Each structure stands twice: as structure tokens, then as C-alpha cells.
Structure 1
Amino acid sequence: MSEWQSKTIADLGKVVTGSTPPSRKSNWFGESTPFVTPSDMTEGDRRPRPERWLSAEGLAGLRTRLIPRDSVAFVCIGSIGKVCLLESESVTNQQVNSVIPNANTDGRFLYYLLKHMAPSIAQSASGAATPIINKSTFSQVVVRLPGHATQLRIAAVLGGIDDLIENNRRRIEVLEEMARAIYREWFVKFRYPGHGDVPMVDSALGPIPEGWHVGRVGSFGRIVTGATPSTKQPRYWGEAHDTPFLTPTEMGWRRLYARPARHLSDAGVASVKSRLLPAGAVCFSSIGSIGKVTLAVKPLVTNQQVNSVVVDHSVTSESYVYEALSHASERIRGMASGSATPIINKSTFADIRMVMTPPSLAHLFGREVGLLHSLITKLEEHSSRLGAIRDLLLPQLVTGQIDVSSLNLDTLIAEKVA
């Protein structure tokens, strides 16, 4: 530990606060440079997934805020403590302070160090309604870190695990796109098995094959709106092996699988027992970030921001409902009420028009795409086990409790993940 020294974040590199293009400058958004906000950062994911990008004009207007790759972005307003490693040149919004590492600081190590320190850094926030850590306060946070060579070794271990997780993520993205492509082929282009001799007929949602009809989301099965057990009752909240409690924060855009951050005890489930969803339920975020869709891989409870479909198998399949709602998510967002916080209430959600296929075709689709969904789930579970190893090692490595030179990562992964 003799090489470990205390330094401020400002000692480690240049701190830059982001900025958002003026609302009147709509031409500043385009496809040139990632524009990173807190909502693009997901727990357990090293890199951000930006929803919006800047145009060349936008980048020129915010050129002083451009952050190089391998810098670390840390949320300092609102969801304080979210952190990511920028893997390409990016601009962030004003909720984010980024650290551009100097020659003595490895960006990957700094990412893991700030990830570990996020809870303690968050305690320095001011403001009750919207917590904030200003740039000067963030810059003066004191951290302990080793010499550059040890930083590189620690980052190589933790980064090696995250590289395996990222490889799984890329494979998952391919499988998800394959599932979407099959859905579009069968149910948008209507080139499904046996389509050749079936005439098209008019419907409220446009031409559809004869024998199909327009129903409602409620036609797919029972609609359940989630609920949150009292947070004043500690006995309602459990451990990782208990019943998952899902919120929109953990749901991704067009991502089948979600990893709930919290879990309910048996007492917590009993307090909202009518909201317990079976495996196979399709969850749809309906307040705020409307349109995130997740397939429950095990029984779970959601909060009140999520409407879910408990699928009626005599009518359709889980895979069809998941892909159909994902495909319709933009149309559904346009039906939301409320300006400050958009909302799709339970009755509105249940009444949304959807194309109903013959049950036999929905189940054939379920068998075809269900195989892809099963592979996605296995890869996600493998990533979860890898993430558990990373999260076990991270605090011990970045604080020097474990000598990084004593670790054999390949052996550790083989023992814990295989």
C-alpha cells in the first residue's frame, strides 16, 4: 500500500461540466456525436447507450464540452452516482461532470474507482428536491489510488470481466434483432408460413390477412398495474434470492431482459399479492419513460409505473405479445396524457388496438422466437454471474485490499461461472 496516495479528482485530470443544446436549436441534433445523459447510463453496464446524437452543427456549438474517449462521466445532479466510461468522443448534458484523465491516471481504473466511491460522493450533495454536487465540490473529492502501473493491472482484471459481459451483450443484440426481423417478416410484411393464398382485408389498423382481426391489449390476457410496498417497512424488502421488484429504471429500450435492483421478502410480496406476476408476463413501462418492454423470466412484482399483461395462452403467446408491444411502443407513447409526466393508465393501456393473429400462428411464432429469447436469457444470466464476480472484486482491488498480482482471473471465472 506504500505506493497508494491521496489526491483530489482535480489532480487526476480535467473536470468538464456538460451542456444541453438550446431548445430552439433543433438542428443541433443529428448523427455525428453521442450526447450522453443520465438516462443513458445503466447499472452494471460500463458504457452508455445514448438515445440522441449531436449533428456537426451541434458539435461545433458545444466544442468546448467535447470529451475524449476513455474519460469518465459521473452524474452530479438528480441520479447522483451513475457513472460510465466514454468509449468514443462524446458530449454530456449539464447533469454530468466528466473527468479527462491526465498521463498519470488510467481512465478505466478511474471508472472503477468512482463506481466504488459513488455512494460516499453522493453524500456531499446539497439540495432537497433535486440533489446536486457542483463542479468545484466534485473536483475536490479526495480519493486514494496506486501508481499508474498498478492502475493498469487492476483495470485489466475488472475490464477483462466487463469485456466478457460486453461480448455477451453484442451476441444478445444480434439475437434480439433476429427476433424483431422475424416479427416484421410475419406480422408487418405478412410473409408468414402459409400466407400465399390468404387474401388481405381492411381493418382499423390497415390491411391484414383474412382470419385475423383487431383486438385490444386487454385481449392478450389479464392487465396488472404494479404497486410499491411500503418503504417504511424494512421487513418487506429482501435479498437477491428473493422476489424481484422491477421498475422502469431497470428496463431497457427494446431489451428483453431486465435486472431488478431490489427484491421483496415474502412479507413484501404478501402486502401486494394481487400484483405478483408469473414468469412469462410482459411488462410495459407506462409512466415517464413510456414504451420500455420486458419479459418476466421468473415471478416478480413491478412498481405502479408499469402495466403488465399476464398472457392468455388460449389466445396468443408471450413472445408474440412482447414483440408486438415492442413494435407498437412509439405509437403507444403518442397516446399518453400529461405534459410534465406522460402517463398511459391501466384502462387506456388495456384499450389500445392491436392486431390479433390466429392462436396457432402466434404459438408457432412463440416456438420459433422463443428459442432466441431462451438464448438471450441464458446469456443474460451468464453476464449476471460475471457481474457478481466483478462486484465482489471491485471494492477490494480499487482499495488495495487484494494484491492484483495474486489473482488468476481465468481460474476464478472457471470456478465461479462455469
Structure 2
Amino acid sequence: MLSSAWKYVPGNEYCVKVTDGTHDSPKQAECGKPLITSKHIKGDVIDFDTAYLISEHDFNEINKRSKVDQWDVIISMIGAYCGFCFIESNEEIEYAVKNVGLFKAGTEVNAKWLYYYLNSPIGRAHLDAVKSGSTQPYIALGALRNLPILVPKEDDVKEKIVAILDAIDTKIRVNNRINAELEAMAKTLYDYWFVQFDFPDDSPQGQGKPYKSSGGEMVYNPTLKREIPEGWDDASLVDIATFTNGIACQKYYPTGDEPTYKVIKIREFSSGFDDSSESVHQGVPEKVVVNDGDILFSWSATLEVKLWAGGTGALNQHIFKVTSESYPKTFYYFEVLKYLEYFKMVAELRKTTMGHITKDHLVTSRICLPPKDLIKAMDAKLSPILSKIISNSQQNAELEKLRDWLLPMLMNGQVTVGEAS
């Protein structure tokens, strides 16, 4: 039950304008400005790497309903990410949207409040209620314009709540930046050793110097069609790791009060669990139970590799759990990650509705295989970095729970702004 200090207003009354972007289809350009569609909105990030580029001329021709400004709130209107929101905080941005919900909130406070509300259990429930379509969910523009937006009757209350929630999000963003830097540092070191082949050469001749750049012996490998360090071999991804597909979870739905796991589908893979995540009883096969620190590979639709830190769950179809009894996690994680661009190219060439690869592509993959003692030495350097990334991600998960718990408690009057502060 909501507190009497709150009220609902429709989206087009709360915002300066609510649109769905351009309806035109400008030609793709080799360089230019990004044109974002619903599939590029993945949780609280936008995937600009795969965005459709349009020329400067076409970008300038697109009317104002399509251009994104600072403090606009963007929402995916169709597909697997339907209902996902992103808030644009960057002042120097130049991109447009096509068939994407665009809430022009007008001010920073209004935008942040709208973003927090749409990501709250109450806001998500209203979004779910206006979704249509059974196989491909979508939200109509009219539904967004009439979407009930819950706001406090006193503006200063809204500002204080936004400040509290923003403080939590600031810490989350700091952790995310640290993780991005740690990931980049780990990848740089991995590439230096196992891509550029400048690992420390501990042989009497090498005396710890970088192997390749110090004249280490390179030999041609006919399978890889390139030179690799002497003593190295080639292998496939299935030679170094086991790729266990998730299961169809319908037959494991709970029927009573038995203990459950939440299900990791493509949506959860990208943004973690929420109240709408499905559950299964804990009788699912152990091989599809996922814990923090496991490596997941979504082989359909998104084609991404992730170091999971979202809590224990059960893996749905379209996602591999990657494990190995012979090689450390740091090795097969970065090898699959390194192969990802090739897999994306394969999926694009196959021109499937939802880009995906098969296990045959894993079998036919070819990678460079270093000696195990070198892999072990690399693991000693990378394992602490991955552990810190997991720790930061777990802290973020707790902060997100606090944020998501706090907002409805404020809305129903169980917590006041003063208590929250």
C-alpha cells in the first residue's frame, strides 16, 4: 500500500516529451553517428560497439524526436531486453534512436527519479503490465506515454531520495570502473604473454627477458598457419574446457515450498536477478548450478563471456557453463574471450534470426596452447585480479539489493527520507 504522500502521473505529463525515435531507415555508413535500437540497450549500458552507423547528413536530417540529449531516459521497447532502461548522463553525446522509448525528462533530478522508478519493483510491474506479444515482447508508444509514474507530492522529497539512491549508485559505478580497469590490466598481461609471446623466458639463454622480442625460437604451426614459440602446441576450446549447456527448466518448476534457485536466462546473464526472474526447485542437475566465480558463455543472441558474480542460480538453455579439470579458470576464460570476435563473425555470416554458434564451432576452433608450467605461472598473477573483480561485483549486488529495497519502503511510508539518510 502506497503512502498518501505519493501520487501517479502519466509519462507524457511527467516528461517534456515521450517519443519512440525515428521511423526512417537511413543507410548504414562506414563512419558517422550511432543509431541505437532496442537490442543495443543491455541493462544499464548501451552496446555502441555493434551500433548501426549513419552519416553526419542523415544524423542531422533526423528530427528532434530521435536525438538523445543529456538526462534523457531510454527504454528498450521490443525483444529480449524489453523494458530495460538506460539514463544518459554524458553531456557530450551524439547519437539517435530508432523504435526506442525516449523519455525527455527535462532535468537531472527528474531523469534520475524516473530511472530509479522504472527499475524499482513497482515500476517494473507497471512496465510488465503494458507489454504485449507472446514470443517477442514489446511495449507500444501509447503505453509509455500513459505509463503511471509514481512521484512524491513534495518536490524536495524527490530530490532527497534521488540524492540517497545516487550515492549508492556512485559507489556501484566506482566499483564498475575499478573492475573495468582490473579486467583491462589482466587482459593486457594475458595478451603480452600468450598473444605477443613476450612471456618471461626463464631458460638459461633467456634469463627472464621477454621471449619473442629477445629472439626466442619461433616455429611455424601448419594448423594455426602462423609461428608460435618452440615447444608450444595447438588445441581446440573443447580440449581445454567443458562447455555444459543449460537446461529447459519447465519440468523443474517448484510445486510447493521446496528450496529453489533463480534461473539464469539471457536477461539475468546481462543484468542479474530481479523479482521477475523464474525459479526452479533445487533438484536440477548439479552440472547446471552456477555459483559466483563460474565462467558463463551465452552462445545465442548476445554471444558474451562473463565472470558470474550474481549469486547461486540454475542455468537455462542458450548459455554454457565453462569448466575444466585440467586447466585453470584464468586460461580458459581469456581463451574463450579471445575467440569471441570470431564467433560473432560466424553468427553474422550464418544470418540467423538470433545470432548463435553450435558446439561444432567449439570443436573446430583452434587456439595456441602454451606449456602447463607457463599457464600455471600466468594463473598465479591473474587469479587475485579475478578474485577482486568478483568481490567488487558481489559488493555491487548487495548495494543494488539495498537500493531496490529502499525505494518501495520509501514509497509505502515504512521508511522516511530522514531515516534513509
Structure-1-length-normalised TM-score:
0.82
- The answer for the alignment partner of 1:332 in structure 2 is 343
> Which of 267, 271, 276 in structure 2 is aligned with 1:249?
267
Change (3 A) 1:402 1:29: farther
Structure 1 range deviating more: 278-287 or 133-142? 278-287
Q: Which residue of 2 aligns with 1:170?
A: 177
Equivalent position amino acid for 1:202 in 2: Y
Q: Which moved more, 1:344-353 or 1:169-178?
A: 344-353
| Per-residue deviation, residues 102-143 of structure 1 (Å, max 9, x unmatched) | 469721112112223122232123444433332223212333
Going from structure 1 to structure 2, the CA distance change for 1:250 and 1:365 (only over 3 Å counts) comes to farther
User: In the alignment, does 2:291 pair up with 1:293?
Assistant: no
Aligned amino acid, residue 216 of structure 2: V
> Counterpart in 1 of 2:204?
none
Aligned alpha-carbon RMSD (Å): 3.1
Counterpart of 1:393 (choices 406, 409, 421) is: 406
Q: Which amino acid aligns with 1:228?
A: A
Indicate if the aligned counterparts of 1:34 and 1:90 stay in contact, CA closer than 8 A. Answer: no
3-state secondary structure, aligned to 2:374 = helix
Q: d(CA) in 1 for partners of 2:74 and 2:253? A: 35
Note the alpha carbon deviations across 1:213-243, whole angstroms, 9 max, x for none: 111111103332221321673349987xx65
1:65-84 aligned at under 5 Å gives the runs: 65-78=66-79, 79-84=81-86
Q: Which amino acid aligns with 2:85?
A: V
Mean Cα deviation higher: 66-75 or 353-362 = 66-75
**Structure 2 partner of 1:217:** 237
Q: Partners of 2:148 and 2:370 in 1: how far apart?
A: 60
Structure 1 residue identity aligned to 2:83:
G
1:122 aligns with 2:120: no
How far is the alpha carbon of 1:284 from its aligned partner? 2.0
Measured at CA, do residues 361 and 266 of structure 1 come closer, stay the same or move farther in structure 2, by a change above 3 Å? Answer: farther
- Structure 1 match to 2:296: 283
Q: Is the aligned partner of 1:100 residue 2:112?
A: no
Distance 1:371 1:170 in 2: 17
Cα offset, 1:2, TM superposition? 6.3
User: Where does the alignment leave 5 or more consecutive residues of structure 2 unmatched?
Assistant: 202-210
- Higher mean C-alpha displacement, 121-130 vs 277-286: 277-286
SS at structure 1 position matched to 2:103: strand
The answer to whether residue 361 in structure 2 is matched with residue 348 in structure 1 is: yes
- Partners of 1:350 and 1:27 lie apart in 2 by 35
Deviation at 1:377, TM superposition (A): 0.7
The secondary structure found in structure 2 opposite 1:334 is: helix
Q: Is the 8 Å Cα contact of residues 254 and 281 (structure 2) preserved in structure 1? A: no
| Residues 145-175 of structure 1 deviation map (CA, whole Å, 9 limit, x = unaligned) | 1232221111111111011100100010000
How many angstroms apart in 2 are the aligned matches of 1:344 and 1:308? 15
Matched, 1:184 2:202: no
2:258 and 2:56 map into 1 onto residues whose CA distance is 49
Question: What is the aligned partner in structure 1 of residue 61 from structure 2?
Answer: 61
Measure how far apart 1:183 and its partner are: 1.2
TM-score computed with the length of structure 2 as normaliser: 0.82
1: CA distance, partners of 2:133 / 2:351: 26
Q: CA deviation at 1:320?
A: 1.2
Is 2:134 the counterpart of 1:134?
no
Identical aligned pairs, as a percentage? 21
Q: Are 1:108 and 1:155, in contact at CA under 8 Å, matched by a contact in 2? A: yes
SS at match of 1:377: helix
Q: 1:381 to 1:333 in 2, by over 3 A?
A: same
2:216 corresponds to 1:198: yes
Q: Which residue of 1 aligns with 2:18?
A: 15
Partner secondary structure for residue 234 of structure 1: coil
Determine the C-alpha separation between the residues in 2 that align with 1:276 and 1:162.
29
Is the 2:20–2:141 Cα contact (8 Å) retained in structure 1? yes
Separation (CA, whole Å) in 1 of partners of 2:288 and 2:318: 13
Instruction: Indicate if the aligned counterparts of 2:291 and 2:308 stay in contact, CA closer than 8 A.
Output: yes
Q: Is the 8 A contact 1:41 1:49 kept in 2?
A: yes
Contact 2:232 2:370 in 1 (8 A): yes
Mapped partners of 1:329, 1:356: distance in 2: 17
1:387 maps to a residue whose letter is E
Match of 1:319 among 326, 330, 349: 330
The alpha carbon displacement at 1:330 in A equals: 0.7
State how 1:373-412 maps to structure 2 within 5 Å. Answer: 373-398=386-411, 400-408=413-421
Q: Does the 8 Å CA contact 1:27/1:57 hold for their aligned counterparts? A: no
Q: d(CA) in 1 for partners of 2:264 and 2:143?
A: 33
The 2-side partners of 1:72 and 1:15 are apart by: 10
Matched with 1:414 is none
Tell me, yes or no, if the aligned pair for 1:223 and 1:310 is still in contact at 8 Å.
Answer: yes
CA pair 33-310 structure 1, distance change in 2 beyond 3 A: closer
Contact preservation (8 Å) 2:7, 2:151: yes
Distance 2:61 2:356 in 1: 34
Corresponding residue for residue 38 of structure 2:
37
